[in-house]
A and B are shown apart, each in its own frame.
Chain A
Amino acid sequence: DAKTTQPPSMDCAEGRAANLPCNHSTISGNEYVYWYRQIHSQGPQYIIHGLKNNETNEMASLIITEDRKSSTLILPHATLRDTAVYYCIVRVAYRRNNNDMRFGAGTRLTVKP
């Protein structure tokens, strides 16, 4: 699976949009981009994933560049409860009987009042 690069930390003001970047320059055409977050003392929480097109759900939006070498997770109106470590992960689309997922170091997002 392709490697990802994220900034180690970011700050965001409460109520503003949080834009978290991820670089995955070696991504293959059959690899998905996933985002998870982990709030202190909890398990990782699935946020969103996509292959080529931009995706939106009730939590966030995922913008993938046309060449698919990078992506941005957007939290449209960050709240203090969005303070967490955010992981960008690349996973191959299909691997029979093998659904492993590997975490990188992630970005620690701090939302400030």
Chain B
Amino acid sequence: DTEVTQTPKHLVMGMTNKKSLKCEQHMGHRAMYWYKQKAKKPPELMFVYSYEKLSINESVPSRFSPECPNSSLLNLHLHALQPEDSALYLCASSQVGGGNQPQHFGDGTRLSIL
């Protein structure tokens, strides 16, 4: 069981659709992350939020729009995605402050773009 909950677990969408991925944690963590993982590859960092403010954007295309409405919730809004965006999207959280704080991951949303 994971303490980071991601919904939905699976999502199939067309290239013209708008959808959102949701991530929730109740561990009091103030840093939250989005990663993208293609099949048989390691996770790649997309975004980092610290204290609900975006601190890192790894040059992610604007069709991915992150949002952190409060300290427990992280969203990833999707619009006009491409087939190559099909992947596992992972959310993680940790305490802020440095390398001594492990990240805790959810089990991801598996996204398929038709």
Using a CB–CB distance below 8 Å, which chain A residues touch chain B?
30-32, 34, 41-46, 49, 51, 85, 87, 91-95, 97-106
Q: Closest 9 interchain pairs by CB?
A: A43-B105, A103-B42, A91-B99, A94-B98, A97-B50, A46-B102, A32-B99, A93-B99, A43-B107
Interface contact B102-A99, CB-CB below 8 Å: no
Residues of A contacting B: mostly: loop
Query: B16 near A: Cβ within 8 Å?
Result: no
- Point out the residues of chain A lying under 8 angstroms from B107, CB to CB: 41-43
B48 → A minimal CB distance (Å): 5
19 contacts between A and B (CB under 8 A): A34-B99, A42-B108, A43-B105, A43-B107, A44-B105, A46-B105, A49-B102, A94-B99, A95-B99, A97-B50, A97-B51, A98-B48, A98-B50, A99-B31, A99-B103, A100-B33, A101-B45, A101-B103, A103-B42
The residue in B44, B45, B99, B102 that gathers the most chain A C-beta atoms within 10 A of its C-beta is B99
- Point out the residues of chain B lying under 8 angstroms from A87, CB to CB: 42
Size bin of chain B's contact surface: 20 to 34
List 14 other contacts, CB 8 Å, given A94-B98, A99-B101.
A34-B99, A43-B4, A44-B103, A49-B100, A94-B99, A98-B48, A98-B55, A99-B31, A99-B94, A99-B99, A100-B56, A102-B45, A104-B42, A106-B42
CA distance A100 to B96 in the complex (A): 10
Count A/B pairs, Cβ under 8 Å.
76
B11 → A minimal CB distance (Å): 15
CA distance A98 to B57 in the complex (A): 11
- Point out the residues of chain A lying under 8 angstroms from B50, CB to CB: 97-99
B8 → A minimal CB distance (Å): 15
A64 → B minimal CB distance (Å): 14
Nearest CB in chain A to that of B32: its residue: A99
